Structures are given as C-alpha cells and as structure tokens.
Amino acid sequence: MTTASTAADDTPERYNAKEAEAKWQKLWDERGVFRASEDASRPKYYVLEMFPSPSGRIHMGHVRNYTLGDVVARYKRARGFNVLHPMGWDAFGLPAENAARDQGVHPAAWTYDNIANMRRELKGMGLSLDWDREIATCHPGYYQHQQALFLDFLEAGLVYRRKSMVNWDPVDHTVLANEQVIDGRGWRSGALVEKRELSQWFFKITAFSDDLLQALGPLERWPERVRLMQENWIGRSEGLRFDFDVEGRAERLPVFTTRPDTLFGASFVAVSPDHPLAKDVAKKSNAAADFIAECQRMGTSEAAIEQAEKRGHDTGLIATHPLLPGLRLPVYIANFVLMDYGTGAIFGCPAHDARDLEFARKYGLPVRPVVFPKDAGADFAIGDEPYTGDGVLTHSQFLDGLGVDAAKSAMIARMEETGRGERTVNFRLRDWGVSRQRYWGCPIPVIHCGTCGAVPVPRDQLPVVLPEDVTFDKPGNPLERHPTWKHVNCPKCGAKAVRETDTCDTFVDSSWYFARFCSPRADIPVVKSAVDYWLPVDQYIGGVEHAILHLLYSRFFMRAMHKTGHVKVDEPFAGLFTQGMVLHESYRAADGKWLYPEEVQLNADGSATQIEGGQPVTVGRREVMSKSKKNVVQPGAIIEEFGADTARWFVLSDSPPERDLEWTDSGIQGAWRFTNRLWRLVGALADVLPPAGTPAPGQMGDAAMALRRTVHKSIVQLTGDLESFRFNRAVARAYEFANALGDLKPGTPDANWALREGLETIVRLLAPMMPHLGEELWHKLGHSTLLAEMPWPEADAALAADDQVTIAVQVQGKLRATLVVAKDMPQKELEALALAEENVLRFMEGKPARKVIVVPNRIVNIVV
RNA sequence: GCCCGCUUGGCGAAAUGGUAGACGUAGCGGACUUAAAAUCCGUUUCCCGCAAGGGAGUGCCGGUUCAAGUCCGGCAGCGGGCACCA
C-alpha cells in the first residue's frame, strides 16, 4: 500500500482533518446537539444501527454500518424530525470467556476495556449519537430488567422448561450449538459429541407462528429477501393429521402429511428414533435399542445428514390402512423422521416422495403410483425418480380422476367425516431454547427446589447478579462449581434449594435493547410514555446475516412485551436496511503465507510485490475481511491518516449500500482528494465572495445562471438520493456539483454571488456525509451557527427545472441526431425540426415518414 | 434438492421502456516542477475512418414494442438462504 499524501501533512494547501474533527466533535458534545428527548410537537424519527459486540476494535463493517445510519440521522434531523440515535454494546457472550481462559483476564474487565476503546473509536467517527443513552447488556442495570421480563413472560405462559435433545461435549462439559459440531466432534475438544436429553428453558415463539408470518406482509420497508427468508424459516404447511391403528396396541399412532391425496399409495409407516413408540419397542428389543442408540450418535451437521443414507429398523408392528382395512403396513423406526416436526411419525408413499422411495427400494417395499401424469398410460411405473407433479388420481377409490389439489381436499373431508383426522397447519418454526451453560450471560432468575420445583426469584430479589469470583481453569460452567452462589433457600418453602446456573442466550439481550434505549436509566424495563413515543424504530440498519435469528427473536419479543403490557406495538422495526459487506483483496507470498495489505506494493500492471524483499505476491480475489487471510484494513489507522470524513465519504461512494463494497487504496485516496478539493475551493474563494446574506444582484449572466440551475437541481436530486438510500448516487451528484463550481470563473458580482450560493449549498448537502468538513467550511464561509443545527436547504423549483432540453432523434429506433431546444416545445415543432436534420434525411433515404413518435422533452422516433 | 438474488468498459458503477457507460478509479498524453509528489488540462467500450461519420455492443437464445440494460419465455454462470420439515 502506498500512501501519497495524508491528513498529517500539515501544509497550508491541505485540510488538517485531525485538528478540525476533534474541534467540532468537542463542540457538538458540549452543546449536546444530539441529545434526544420526547417532544410531542415534532414528528419523531428513531434511527438505529445494530449495536456492536465489544470485540476490541471497530472494523470496516462497523464504519460502513454506522456511517449509513449517521447519514440518515443527520439528514432527518435537518428535515425537522426529532431524531433518536443511540448506541450501546451487545456485551455478553463467549469471546469474553475465551479471553478469560486464554489470557487470565476477567470477562468483565476484558469487556469494559474493549467498550472503552471502541467507544473512543466510534466517537472519532463523528457520529451524531446521544451518548447519554449508552447501555451495555452485561451491566446489571440492563440485565436486571431482562430478568424481570423473563418473569413476566413466565407468568404469561411464554416461557417454559422441558427436556430436549442437545449436542453434549463430554470433555468440555457443555452444550454445543449445531454449528459447533464438526464431523460429529466438538470443535474445540475434538471429542465425539453425544446427544443428551437436558432440561432447558424455552421461549414460546411458536405461540406467535401465524402472526409472525402474517405480519411480514405489511412490512413494506423491509427487503423482500429478508421477509422471504423469515417466511421460509417459519415454514407454514397445510395438511392432514390422522391416526393409524396399530395391531396389538391400544393407542393409535398419529401422523402428519401434506400429501393426503397419496394415502392409497402408502406402503409403510415410520416413526422417529425419539418417538415414544420407538422407546416402547426398544424396551423389549435389543436390536431396536441398538438402532436408536446408533441414530443418536449420528452427527447433526449438514454434511453428516447429507451423507447419511436412509435407514430403518422393522419393529414387526403392523399398522392398518384406515381406508383399505386389508392393507397391512409395516412400522419402521427410521433415521430420517424428525421427532420435533409434525407428530414424529409418517406414512411412506414411495411413488411420490424421494425419501420414501429411497427407503422403499432399500427395504424392498412396494412402490405403487396413485398420481398419474396427464398423458401416462395404465402401465405407468416409477423408476429411479418419484413423481411429484400434478396429475390424475388412480387406484384411489373415491379420489379417482381428481387432480392433486382436489384430492387433498376430498381426502381431508373424508377423514374429518369419519373422525379419524383433521385439517392441520404445521410450522417448521420451533420454540427458542435459551439455556446456555455459560458464565458470561444474563442469569436466569429461577430457583430449583426439591419440593416446590422451579420457583421464580421474587421481584424484590432482582437482580440476580453474576458472582465476580469465578475461575475458568476447568471446563464447564463456573456458576455450577462456585462454592456459594447457587446455594439459596427456596423463596416458597424456605428449604435448601439451588439457583438455576444456566444463563440466557445472548440473542435474548439483543431482542429488546432498542426498547430500552427509549428510557435507558428507568428502574423498570421500559417507561410507557417513552416507548409509546419512540417505538417502533423507523429505520434499522445492519448486516443481512441477522435476517433470521436476531430479527425474528426481536419480533417475538415485541409481541411478548405487548402481551405483558410493556409496549403497544408488535413490530419493532418499521424500516429495515441490510447493508453489504466490506471486502478486500487478499495477498499471498511465494511461500504461501498471507500478507497484510501494508506489506504489499501494488504495481501499475496489476501485479504485486512484497515490499520487504521485492518477491512477487499472488493477488487473491476480494472477499470478506478476515484476520486469518490478513486482508483487513483497520479503521483506526485510516481515520488517523485521512480523518473520519474521508473514510465516511469513501464507504458511501463506491457501491450501492446494499451491495458488497470493495475497500481499495485508490478509492480512499480519491475520497481524500475530494475532501481537499472542496476545502481548497472554499479557501480560494473566501476573499472574493460577497458576505453571507447579500441579496442577489439584479443582473445574472448566463454562466452564473447555469451554475444556479445546477445548484437547485442538485438539491432536488441529492435529496431524492438520500431519501431512497442511494448514497453512491448522492456522492456522484456531489462530484458533478463540485465540478460545476470549479468551472465558474469568479470575478463579476453575479458569478461571485452564484458561487457563494453554490458553496453554501454543497456544504449543507454534504453535511450528513462529511459532517466535520461541513462545519469547518460553513464556518469559513462566515457563519457562526452550527451546521448540525441548520435546516435542510430548499430548492427553487423554477431554477431546478431545465429551460432547455436535449432531444434524441431516431430513425428506425437508431440515434441519428440530437436537438437542443426550449423545454416543452410543441410536438409539431419538434417533428419539423427533426425532419429537417441532414443526417435524419440521409437515413430516411427519401422515403416518407410512416409514423413519427414524439415524446415531449425526450425523443423523436421516425419510422419509414 | 427447494427458494431467492445477481451478470453493463481494465475496475467500482450510472441509466421513470426513450441519447448505454453519468460519477469515481485506473491508464495514456500534456502543463507546472531541477525532479518527484501534489495540482490542473485533455483523452479512454470495441471495430473501420485523416475527419465528418458509420458498424457492433449491457452473460447466451428467442419474443413483445416505433423503441429493450430495463418487460416476457428459455438457458448458462456466479452468489446467498434453507435443507431428511413428511
């Protein structure tokens, strides 16, 4: 990386960003410009970016995220909105515990150190934040209210405890998330992961399945993509639930199917290895027990599932077909049937389902098609592929001749009539397990008593504070082995009891922080008047990687908080913007080692060499910045070198914000060039400009008028760009605007006046994007007000409209000439002018015009 | 496997169905300079042409239209989400 010039070069011709930025940040802070309070007389606007984890340093993704949010916040403020723009810390989580174990530092100390550092870095970006509202989720002042909400949800029946299967690492003594199991082994210990049944706390997100799905529709200011992902995740499917009789057993076996039309093609029944029937069978059969144990040992990773073949164990039981009493279906325990979807049991119709077909072929079960493709003959048979399309029902009694949809309805109706089943809706969404066997999280406020069971911690005993004297030298949960912390008396009966030692999933912390920001110091979770005023968040901005979990959990939390009387809205985020990632090329030395960008010299021909030693370097494709590939650029270093405004300008400039952005050295240099160009432009003209507020001279020359038109057109266009999140377009307009300003020669009173108007306007338009430079230039232009408190400039509509337009003239749809004419010239005149063009006549080849299409102010197309 | 998105100069990208490539970046040529940096000016989709101008061109094939990067149908490539969900 070569750096030609930087903000540190303090020559009179260069903007000293470092000095200026510190000065304006201090002034904003002292005057409390960005402090927010409820004000019923003004429209409110709540802008929020996803809050960071205090990992240590901010990265370019943060710079992009918070710049986008800050542009919105500053712009809306200028438009007269009462803006709330807060910041906080998603501070609980595993990294702090890892640091504790590896570096011997307490998680709290590590976290608060990182917060202090990152707060300093964020302040250096000049963000228009209300720092008085700062919160950290690891602070008892925050998590005590989360504990109160937990108890509210518990009372409302939205929290419950049940046994569930988890991935258990027998070496580290902890539960692992699916993502932490690699090839069936713990990612850290390498131990074979076991499936274990543990008691876990769950949030009953499924209580809102239907609502969470239905309410996606009206979220018009959310990306379609995110809504679709949530829709798929919730996974609603309609079907039939009905019961099989099993020979020799009293209980019927309920199954769920979305293809009731294929019931006459059934050839087996299968239950999950975790199904009660399977467990029953295993009591008497070692073979069955062995099979179940084997299934449970199987990995849950994607790869493991993909490779796993369909396998089953024949229980010897027979289910009888509900409509064909003579048809006896073998009951299998099958590894591909999931306990927690539907009823944990299915009927298999191999002819019309891929999994069932694979299973049937393996165990020699009949494959009987009952849905025939439209043009199939009576001898239609299934080969290697099941037939899953529409068709005509065959060999299916009362369904014969029907299409698939009609047959589904008919079958459901028949089953409902006979009382054997019913139409059912099933969701893929499962309840949210929040128990984590970890220290650095919000303690779950429950006490376990031998006689009373799980007893909520009384409200007056909140918060349940994490003990500080814990050790991380052994695997497992430090809360579990703490000598005193968990030993308490039962709040109900007074007997000896133990605290819940599990803590909350950190996704719980981030599911309601946006509500807490409304009243961050209140002694209750949220103050009604505050949340009623501010919520929902008007514009939320963050990475698409949170499209499902965080955004879905937050939607659940709002509903739960609504139900428990805390808020009156269901949807937390009225508008959502998902930004792209920041990418960078990666560099590899001849020996295969990754190199940091600053170790590499980029050559004009596109090749690269190592600065030290001069060996050739392999330039890799651009990808997400990651420590392992060393393709990272530290925001701190960039801001130190060029200032925050230049960094902000660059991340806004190159790509549309929803798309990935490639960080390039030439790009940041270009942004730095522009920063200085503006600064010089104002500096060079400061002496000749008329004083601020001078009335316009009566006579305006053509050049001055042309600039005035650019000024007012720029206001209109750039405003539209900001409104629609097209910040790269706004940047391009600013360049055009600045080019026009540079082109007008000063000297005459009209030109000087137009230049003042232009410079003041560009400074105000750029202020949301480059706030420090804006203040600096505003001040240079003779103003003593703060630009951050100025209203948005207004365009003169007459000037913003063109008085001349360029008309394209086409012959047969091909461009043959252009006309510059007065705006709104009548169609007849345009047509006449077009037909008089030499080149147009040439391409008409003497033929008469058959048809002339005239679009006013745009185009004339002549068809011959 | 299912669902979704994307594909335009060397590169990042613009373009309410109406002049494709604005703006930036990189390159090339020039001015300034002892020189470099910085700055400023010019130029840059490809092909033919001294020029005027012409031809081709938005992943590929086809369609709708006076007019298609944009709309419709099909295909390919790349990326993302979900995935034994019955």
Supply the pLDDT for residue A11: 53
Task: Please report which residue ranges of A458-564 form alpha helices under DSSP H.
Answer: 478-481, 506-509, 513-516, 528-534, 549-563
How much is the average pLDDT of A515-532?
A: 97
A394: part of which helix (H) or strand (E)? none
* Distance in angstroms: CA A267, C1' B6: 44
d(CA A452, CA A455): 7
Q: Between residues A40 and A593, which one has the greater pLDDT?
A: A40
Question: Nearest residue to nucleotide B20 when comparing alpha carbons to its C1'?
Answer: A815
Supply the pLDDT for residue A3: 38
d(CA A765, CA A839): 43
How much is the average pLDDT of A349-367?
A: 92
> How many other C-beta atoms can be found within 10 angstroms of the C-beta atom of residue A636?
16
* Distance in angstroms: CA A605, C1' B61: 37
Supply the pLDDT for residue A10: 46
Supply the pLDDT for residue A605: 65
Question: Nearest residue to nucleotide B18 when comparing alpha carbons to its C1'?
Answer: A859
Position A676 pLDDT exceeds 60: yes
* Distance in angstroms: CA A739, C1' B41: 14
* Distance in angstroms: CA A421, C1' B43: 78
Position A445 pLDDT exceeds 80: yes
Helices A771-780, A665-685: inter-axial angle, 10-degree rounding: 20
| Closest nucleotide to the alpha carbon of A303, via C1' | B83
User: pTM for this one?
Assistant: 0.93
| Closest nucleotide to the alpha carbon of A814, via C1' | B67
Task: Please report which residue ranges of A686-817 form alpha helices under DSSP H.
Answer: 702-723, 727-743, 749-766, 771-780, 797-800
Question: Nearest residue to nucleotide B14 when comparing alpha carbons to its C1'?
Answer: A729
How much is the average pLDDT of A711-734?
A: 95
Task: Please report which residue ranges of A366-432 form alpha helices under DSSP H.
Answer: 404-417
Least confident of A110-124, A247-261, A680-694: A680-694
ipTM associated with this complex: 0.95
Position A432 pLDDT exceeds 80: yes
Least confident of A118-132, A137-151, A162-176: A162-176
Asked if A68 contacts A727 with a C-beta cutoff of 8 angstroms, the reply is yes
| Closest nucleotide to the alpha carbon of A233, via C1' | B82
d(CA A541, CA A186): 34
Asked if A540 contacts A50 with a C-beta cutoff of 8 angstroms, the reply is yes
* Distance in angstroms: CA A703, C1' B52: 30
Closest among A261, A263, A378, A260 to A323, alpha carbons compared: A263
Nucleotides of B under 7 A from a protein CB: 3-5, 11-16, 18-20, 22-28, 37-41, 53-56, 66-68, 80-86
| Closest nucleotide to the alpha carbon of A734, via C1' | B23
What is the band of A188 on the pLDDT scale with cuts at 50, 70, 90? low
What is the DSSP secondary structure assignment for residue A855, as one 8-state letter? E
Supply the pLDDT for residue A249: 92
* pLDDT tens digits, A616-627: 888 877 778 888
d(CA A488, CA A492): 12
Distances (CA, A) of A273 to A314, A429, A516, A558, A766: 12, 21, 44, 36, 63
* pLDDT tens digits, A263-292: 999 999 999 998 999 999 999 999 999 999
Length of chain A: 864
* Distance in angstroms: CA A542, C1' B82: 21
* pLDDT tens digits, A549-588: 899 999 999 999 999 999 999 999 999 999 999 988 888 8
* pLDDT tens digits, A22-31: 999 999 999 9
| Closest nucleotide to the alpha carbon of A235, via C1' | B85
Supply the pLDDT for residue A279: 93
Question: Nearest residue to nucleotide B27 when comparing alpha carbons to its C1'?
Answer: A604
Backbone angles phi, psi at A583, to 5 degrees: -110, 165
Could you tell me what percent of chain A has a pLDDT over 90? 71
What is the band of A1 on the pLDDT scale with cuts at 50, 70, 90? very low
Maximum alpha-carbon separation in chain A: 108
Query: For residue A531, what are its two tokens?
Result: 């949340």
* Distance in angstroms: CA A849, C1' B19: 21
d(CA A106, CA A112): 10
Supply the pLDDT for residue A632: 85
| Closest nucleotide to the alpha carbon of A806, via C1' | B19
DSSP labels, A783-837: --S-GGGSPPP---HHHHS-SEEEEEEEETTEEEEEEEEETT--HHHHHHHHHT-
* Backbone region of residue A32 per phi and psi (left: phi > 0; alpha: psi in -120 to 50; beta: other values): left
Could you tell me what percent of chain A has a pLDDT over 70? 95
Position A2 pLDDT exceeds 50: no
Number of H helices, E strands in chain A: 27, 39
Closest among A331, A334, A336 to A319, alpha carbons compared: A331
Position A240 pLDDT exceeds 90: yes
Distances (CA, A) of A578 to A64, A159, A223, A539, A840: 11, 30, 8, 11, 49
What is the band of A407 on the pLDDT scale with cuts at 50, 70, 90? very high
* Distance in angstroms: CA A659, C1' B78: 15
Supply the pLDDT for residue A180: 65
| Closest nucleotide to the alpha carbon of A4, via C1' | B37
What is the band of A594 on the pLDDT scale with cuts at 50, 70, 90? confident
Asked if A721 contacts A733 with a C-beta cutoff of 8 angstroms, the reply is yes
* Distance in angstroms: CA A666, C1' B38: 15
Question: Nearest residue to nucleotide B6 when comparing alpha carbons to its C1'?
Answer: A659
Q: Which residue(s) pair with A206 in the sheet?
A: none
Asked if A58 contacts A155 with a C-beta cutoff of 8 angstroms, the reply is no
Asked if A198 contacts A227 with a C-beta cutoff of 8 angstroms, the reply is no
Closest among A720, A718, A744, A722 to A733, alpha carbons compared: A718
* Distance in angstroms: CA A648, C1' B37: 25
Closest among A30, A25, A8 to A17, alpha carbons compared: A8
Backbone angles phi, psi at A243, to 5 degrees: -110, 140
Asked if A296 contacts A308 with a C-beta cutoff of 8 angstroms, the reply is no
Kindly tell me the sign of the dihedral angle through the C-alpha atoms of A414, A415, A417, A422. negative
Question: Nearest residue to nucleotide B4 when comparing alpha carbons to its C1'?
Answer: A225
* pLDDT tens digits, A792-809: 999 999 999 888 889 999
What is the band of A462 on the pLDDT scale with cuts at 50, 70, 90? very high
* Distance in angstroms: CA A811, C1' B42: 33
Backbone angles phi, psi at A47, to 5 degrees: -105, 130
* Distance in angstroms: CA A321, C1' B70: 56
Asked if A741 contacts A756 with a C-beta cutoff of 8 angstroms, the reply is no
d(CA A648, CA A770): 7
What is the band of A84 on the pLDDT scale with cuts at 50, 70, 90? very high
DSSP labels, A609-653: EETTT--EEEEPPPEE--TTTT----HHHHHHHH-HHHHHHHHHH
* Distance in angstroms: CA A183, C1' B4: 29
Question: Nearest residue to nucleotide B65 when comparing alpha carbons to its C1'?
Answer: A813
How much is the average pLDDT of A515-529?
A: 97
* Distance in angstroms: CA A777, C1' B59: 47
How much is the average pLDDT of A727-752?
A: 94
Distances (CA, A) of A835 to A150, A736, A831: 78, 34, 6
Position A641 pLDDT exceeds 80: yes
* Distance in angstroms: CA A739, C1' B31: 20
How much is the average pLDDT of A224-236?
A: 91
| Closest nucleotide to the alpha carbon of A2, via C1' | B37
| Closest nucleotide to the alpha carbon of A9, via C1' | B38
Q: Which residue(s) pair with A314 in the sheet?
A: A332
- 3-class SS at A568? coil
* pLDDT tens digits, A308-325: 688 899 999 999 999 998
Supply the pLDDT for residue A177: 67
Query: For residue A99, what are its two tokens?
Result: 């640091």
- 3-class SS at A530? helix
* Distance in angstroms: CA A724, C1' B19: 26
| Closest nucleotide to the alpha carbon of A731, via C1' | B23
Position A8 pLDDT exceeds 50: no
Residue whose entry in the numeric block shows the structure tokens 């008892």: A140
What is the band of A301 on the pLDDT scale with cuts at 50, 70, 90? very low
* Distance in angstroms: CA A590, C1' B40: 41
Asked if A707 contacts A758 with a C-beta cutoff of 8 angstroms, the reply is yes
Position A414 pLDDT exceeds 80: yes
Which amino acid is residue A406, in one-letter code? A
| 3-state SS, one letter per residue, for A142-197 | HHHHHHHHHHHHHHCCCEEEEEEEEEEECCCCEEECHHHEECCEECCCCCECEEEE
Closest among A598, A643, A618, A631 to A3, alpha carbons compared: A598
d(CA A609, CA A588): 10
| Closest nucleotide to the alpha carbon of A656, via C1' | B13
d(CA A546, CA A284): 47
Position A185 pLDDT exceeds 80: no
User: According to the per-residue pLDDT averaged within each range, which of A66-75, A473-482, A609-618, A843-852 is highest?
Assistant: A66-75
* Distance in angstroms: CA A579, C1' B5: 14
What is the band of A395 on the pLDDT scale with cuts at 50, 70, 90? very high
| Closest nucleotide to the alpha carbon of A805, via C1' | B19
d(CA A431, CA A620): 42
Supply the pLDDT for residue A601: 78
- 3-class SS at A270? strand
Position A529 pLDDT exceeds 90: yes
| Closest nucleotide to the alpha carbon of A817, via C1' | B19
Q: Which residues contact A809 (CB under 8 A, 6 or more apart)?
A: A815, A816, A817, A818, A819, A834, A837, A840, A859, A860, A861, A862
Backbone angles phi, psi at A422, to 5 degrees: -155, 155
How much is the average pLDDT of A482-495?
A: 95
Supply the pLDDT for residue A453: 94
How much is the average pLDDT of A179-187?
A: 65
| Closest nucleotide to the alpha carbon of A349, via C1' | B86
Helices A107-123, A635-642: inter-axial angle, 10-degree rounding: 30
Question: Nearest residue to nucleotide B3 when comparing alpha carbons to its C1'?
Answer: A232
| Closest nucleotide to the alpha carbon of A225, via C1' | B4
Query: For residue A544, what are its two tokens?
Result: 């698409």
Closest among A792, A794, A796 to A75, alpha carbons compared: A792
Closest among A244, A238, A219 to A229, alpha carbons compared: A219
Q: Which residue(s) pair with A579 in the sheet?
A: A543
Position A460 pLDDT exceeds 90: yes
* Distance in angstroms: CA A856, C1' B64: 24
* Distance in angstroms: CA A354, C1' B74: 27
| Closest nucleotide to the alpha carbon of A224, via C1' | B4
